[in-house]
């Protein structure tokens, strides 16, 4: 595992803070699990949140259980693994499976169309992992009830494996219902849980080599108490030192590497751990650097970057966790809480109690796109110009799409299309392309998140971090909705309430925020992309 500095400014900012950290004995204190490092206010939480430091060894106890679960699933022909879990309860498993090139369907969405795709996919060969540390996350609970009903209606036994913390209400439900149950270490927080049961259970069921992951992580463990040659300290000093020097936009590069999708996991770890009390580091994923003075470019297993991080996935997980805890210490924030995540959840719950969701009237309509919020523009190109101009010199634009992440693959293909033509067609049907098009028109970072997934990730930073964001939400008409057994609402209603709840939380901060509602999803995406090119 190696962390190398490629730029003089980063090296000097990092070495000055690293000197201070070493003088205070931080590397060995952190490696030894000292909960006093982040100050008095953070101590109680840190005392029950540092278990990730020993997971490379302690998670080995899980291996026989994982082998048993995976063997039984194989024997029963359960080859389709679905994971229902939000944020830290699904992001790591996704990276592990993508890197190992084994199929895993992650449901961290409330989009009725995207959920329906999973529900109608080989149910008789499906095993569903329901993962929630708290056991009380709304989306995960809904997906569990939907699958329970689906299995029952199909006359199939409920093939459900629950991963949760001891004592949660989900544990009780799993015991009462006779589901397979794997209890996770209660002294590990969600975003630090990659090497715990949360990362390992779905990955093992899907066929990834999880023992190898632990071996790779265990190899770096002895380095983490060292004052020199400590990759966690080197990376943490670079992240924190750069942020203190004003380079608080973290551009993550991972082009063509063997590790697949790690930036999405890092995004949650860094944004939720540091984005609070008006400060923090903003991860920027899938974007090119702009060359502005507030960027730090970190390349993972790839060329370029101000900092380069090389090593296998298991080691990357551990080193990034350690580095994030160091960066939070340098920024003087608690790396283990997420004080602002609850705001949107509360506002969503309150909205769901109303007979009708208060969408208001659109400010204007541009073809298949209704625009909600305060805007002086009269069409979409004008609105995009207005939003881009509203970004402060040190700020960013966040695009947040509450849509079906897989819908672009339904795009019509020209007859006999080759791979390049297919990729172009997908790109032009993908709402995420809006990020790239808007990024061409500004030197400020433009981020993209799928709702509600990002609410459990960058959502903390949007609300708790520096108040310099501009926010663009996208929602869409629901075709065929999905009922949530035991609830008065459907997934479609929940998804819209989540968008409106977060918008309300952003608006109370006085940040520019608009919602674009697609009254025809495919035509709406096409109009957004065309308008971004006209802007
Ligand atoms: O695992 P769960 O308890 O369901 O939590 C899932 C996610 O929920 C919250 O939004 C937290 O902010 C995340 O850090 C966490 O990963």
Distance 131 CA to ligand 1 centre (A): 10
Mutate to test the pocket of ligand 1, among 45, 49, 85, 87 (most ligand atoms within 8 A of CB): 87
- Write the residue with the smallest CA distance to atom 9 of ligand 1: 456
57: CA distance to ligand 1 center in Å? 24
Q: Which of 182, 214, 246 is the endpoint of a domain? A: 214
CB-defined site of ligand 1, < 6 Å: 86-89, 132-134, 137, 140, 190-191, 272, 338, 341, 456
Q: How many domains does the chain have?
A: 3
Q: In whole angstroms, what is the distance from residue 511 CA to residue 340 CA?
A: 15
For ligand 1, what atom is nearest to the CA of residue 341? Answer: 12
Count of all residues that appear for the chain in the document:
535
> What is the ipTM for the molecules in this complex?
0.99
Instruction: Calculate how far, in angstroms, residue 374's C-alpha sits from the geometric centre of ligand 1.
Output: 32
Q: Is 354 exposed, middle or buried (0-12, 13-18, 19+ CB in 10 A)?
A: exposed
Give the pLDDT confidence score for residue 52 in this predicted structure: 98
Q: State yes or no: cis peptide before 272, omega within 30 of 0.
A: no
Closest residue by Cα to atom 12, ligand 1, is 456
Residue 453 alpha carbon to ligand 1 centre in Å: 10
**178 & 302 share domain:** no
Q: Tell me, yes or no, whether 141 and 204 share the same domain.
A: yes
- Write the DSSP assignment of 316-348 as a string of letters: HHHHHHHHHHHHHHHHT--TT--TTHHHHHHHH
pLDDT of 510: 94
Edge to edge, the sheet with strand 282-285 lists: 2-5, 307-310, 295-300, 249-253, 282-285
Distance 190 CA to ligand 1 centre (A): 6
Q: How far apart are CA 215 and CA 196, in angstroms?
A: 14
**Are residues 411 and 318 located together in one domain of the fold?**
no
Closest by alpha carbon to 111, among 479, 526, 445?
479
Asked if 394 and 468 touch (Cβ cutoff 8 Å), the reply is yes
Q: Are residues 124 and 234 in the same domain?
A: no
Report how far residue 483's alpha carbon sits from residue 481's, in angstroms, rounded to the nearest whole number.
7
Say whether both 500 and 369 belong to one domain.
yes
Measure the CA–CA gap between 378 and 383, rounded to whole angstroms: 7
367 and 267 share one domain: no
30 is a domain residue: no
Residue 351 lies in a domain: yes
Structural domain includes residue 276: yes
Q: Mean pLDDT, consecutive 10-residue segments, the chain of 535 residues?
A: 96 96 98 98 97 98 98 98 98 98 98 98 98 98 98 98 98 98 97 98 98 98 98 98 98 92 98 98 96 97 94 98 98 97 92 95 98 94 98 98 97 92 95 98 98 98 98 98 97 98 95 97 98 95
Residue 49 lies in a domain: no
Which atom of ligand 1 has the smallest separation from the CA of 140? 4
Two structure tokens written together for 139: 């989306």
Looking from the CA of residue 134, the nearest atom of ligand 1 is 3
Q: 524 and 480, same structural domain?
A: yes
Q: Which atom of ligand 1 is nearest to the CA of 85?
A: 4
Sheet holding 369-372, edge to edge: 364-366, 369-372, 513-518, 469-476, 396-401, 446-450
Phi/psi of residue 215, each to 5°? -60, -45
Q: How far is the CA of 136 from the centre of ligand 1 (A)?
A: 9
**Domain-ending residue, one of 302, 331, 360:** 331
What pLDDT shows up at residue 257?
87
DSSP 186: T
Residue 48 lies in a domain: no
Report how far ligand 1's centroid is from the alpha carbon of 132 (Å). 7
pLDDT score recorded for residue 414? 85
Same domain, 154 and 255: no
Residue 435 lies in a domain: yes
Q: What whole-number distance in Å separates Cα of residue 187 and Cα of residue 144? A: 25
Determine the atom of ligand 1 nearest the C-alpha atom of 190.
Answer: 16
Domain that holds residue 525: 341-534
Q: Are residues 253 and 347 in the same domain?
A: no
Specify whether 412 is located in the same domain as 479.
yes
Q: Does residue 221 lie within any of the structural domains?
A: no
Is residue 206 located within the same domain as residue 248? Answer: no
CB 429 within 8 A of CB 503: no
Distance 302 CA to ligand 1 centre (A): 30
Asked whether residue 271 is domain-assigned, the answer is: yes
> Which of 284, 304, 331 is the endpoint of a domain?
331
**467 and 349 assigned to the same domain:** yes
Q: Residue 277 belongs to a domain with what CATH number?
A: 3.40.50.10490
User: How much is the pLDDT for 12?
Assistant: 95
pLDDT at 25: 98
């Amino acid at each position: 595992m190696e962390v190398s500095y490629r730029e003089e400014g980063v090296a000097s900012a990092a070495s000055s803070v690293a000197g201070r950290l070493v003088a205070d004995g931080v590397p060995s204190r952190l490696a030894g699990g000292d909960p006093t490092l982040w100050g008095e206010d953070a101590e109680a939480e840190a005392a029950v949140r540092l278990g990730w430091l020993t997971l490379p060894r302690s998670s080995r106890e899980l291996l026989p259980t994982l082998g048993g679960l995976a063997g039984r699933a194989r024997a029963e022909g359960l080859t389709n693994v679905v994971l229902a879990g939000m944020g830290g309860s699904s992001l790591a498993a996704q990276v592990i499976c993508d890197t190992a090139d084994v199929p895993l369907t992650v449901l961290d969405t409330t989009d009725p169309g995207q959920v329906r795709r999973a529900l109608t996919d080989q149910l008789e060969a499906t095993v569903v992992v329901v993962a929630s540390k708290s056991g009380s996350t709304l989306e995960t609970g809904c997906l569990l009830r939907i699958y329970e009903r689906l299995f029952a209606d199909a006359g199939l036994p409920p093939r459900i494996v629950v991963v949760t913390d001891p004592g949660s209400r989900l544990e009780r439900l799993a015991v009462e219902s006779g589901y397979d149950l794997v209890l996770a270490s209660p002294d590990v927080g969600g975003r630090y849980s990659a090497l715990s049961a949360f990362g390992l259970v779905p990955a093992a069921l899907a066929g990834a080599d999880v023992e190898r992951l632990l071996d790779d992580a265990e190899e770096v463990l002895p380095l983490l108490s060292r004052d020199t040659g400590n990759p966690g300290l080197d990376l943490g000093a670079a992240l924190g030192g750069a942020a203190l020097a004003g380079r608080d936009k973290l551009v993550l590069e991972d082009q063509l590497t063997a590790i697949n999708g790690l930036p999405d996991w890092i995004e949650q770890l860094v944004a939720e751990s540091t984005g609070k009390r008006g400060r923090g580091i903003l991860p920027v994923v899938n974007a090119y650097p702009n060359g502005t003075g507030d960027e730090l470019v970190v390349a993972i297993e790839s060329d370029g970057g101000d900092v380069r991080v090389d090593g296998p996935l298991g080691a990357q997980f551990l080193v990034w966790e350690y580095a994030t805890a160091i960066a939070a210490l340098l920024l003087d924030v608690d790396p283990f809480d997420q004080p602002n995540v609850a705001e949107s959840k509360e506002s969503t719950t309150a909205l769901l109690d109303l007979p009708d969701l208060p969408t208001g009237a659109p400010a204007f309509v541009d073809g298949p796109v209704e625009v909600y919020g305060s805007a002086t523009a009269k069409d979409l190109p004008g609105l995009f110009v207005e939003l881009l101009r509203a970004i402060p010199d040190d700020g960013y634009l966040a695009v947040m799409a509450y849509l079906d992440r897989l819908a672009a693959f339904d795009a019509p293909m020209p007859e006999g299309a080759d791979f390049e033509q297919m990729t172009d067609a997908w790109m032009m049907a993908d709402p995420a392309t809006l990020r790239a098009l808007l990024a061409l028109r500004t030197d400020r970072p433009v981020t993209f998140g799928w709702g509600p997934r990002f609410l459990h990730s960058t959502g903390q930073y949007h609300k708790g971090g520096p108040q310099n964001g501009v926010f663009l939400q996208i929602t869409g008409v629901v075709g065929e909705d999905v009922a949530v057994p035991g609830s008065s609402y459907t997934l479609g209603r929940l998804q819209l309430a989540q968008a409106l709840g977060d918008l309300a939380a952003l608006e109370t901060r006085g940040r520019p925020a608009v919602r674009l509602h697609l009254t025809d999803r495919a035509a709406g995406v096409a109009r957004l992309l065309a308008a971004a090119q006209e802007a």
